[in-house]
Amino acid sequence: MRVPFTISTESLSVFLNGKMYTIPSTDGTFEAVKEELREPHHDIDTLTDLLDKPKMIARVSAGLVTTDGHGVYYGGEAIHNSLTNKLLDLLEDGFDAKPWARFMDNLMQNPSYNSRECLYNFLDHFNAPITEDGCFIAFKRVRENYKDVHTGTMDNSPGNVVSMPRHNVDDNPNNTCSSGLHACADEYLKGFATGSSYRTVAVKINPADVVAVPADYSFSKMRVCEYYVLGDVDDKQIETLRDSDYVDYDDYSDWDYSDYDH
């Protein structure tokens, strides 16, 4: 079967399932749609996945993520704008919705409504890249020997899982400095433990493990109960991560993350 279509350098239009779809050349799916249209016989399911994004989102999320044209919902619950925008950015860049759906799965495992709201504050202010398994990337400043800055007792060497009981983490976002494992956005690094005796590591955090994001410092730091240390990052890598919606581990081949399944 072949479907009616037109292609120009700026866009393409496809009439499919009784509806006209127009895709600009800047859309992440443009090249994939164009390649399918070049085939002698068009695969309707493939084209539907590429063109009908609401259906594609519902399919890859096992029906948990839906949209009605006015908003995006997860399991019937309206999704915060920062996460909706991240989903749309992923799709615009040509990624599928699986990492985002996994992120939502993990987030909904967070037992605290207030903790989930706190994480939204962080995501509103800073772009935290999502990983394939639905976690996100933040940063941590540590001593040269990878021990934590405050106590010098916690080992933040690459590949380590650092954790503490959740009930020992202060969940009050009004408390600026308090008990918990700390991570931050790149903005916070500019004024904390600077100098040659410190290093910066990237940490992978499951949204289920976020406990509090204090309002001070523009929501740029957080307290969590567990994180996985990916590895050292320099200023260039930090900038790249800050500008990314999704992390491809192939770009950071020195990170050892294979044994971490949380």
State yes or no: pLDDT of 160 exceeds 60: yes
If one counts every other C-beta atom within 10 angstroms of the C-beta of residue 131, the result is 22
Q: Show the tokens assigned to 16.
A: 């499919």
Task: Assign 3 a pLDDT band (cuts: 50, 70, 90).
Answer: very high
Which of 56, 55, 39 has its CA nearest to residue 2? 39
CA-based torsion, 252, 257, 261, 262: positive or negative: negative
Which tokens sit at 178? 């308090």
Q: Mean pLDDT over residues 149-168, rounded? A: 95
The C-alpha atoms of residue 201 and residue 97 are separated, in whole angstroms, by 27
Query: Domain segments of the chain: what residues?
Result: 5-107, 113-252
For 21-77, write each residue's pLDDT tens digit.
Answer: 888 887 777 888 999 999 999 999 889 878 877 776 776 666 777 777 677 788 888
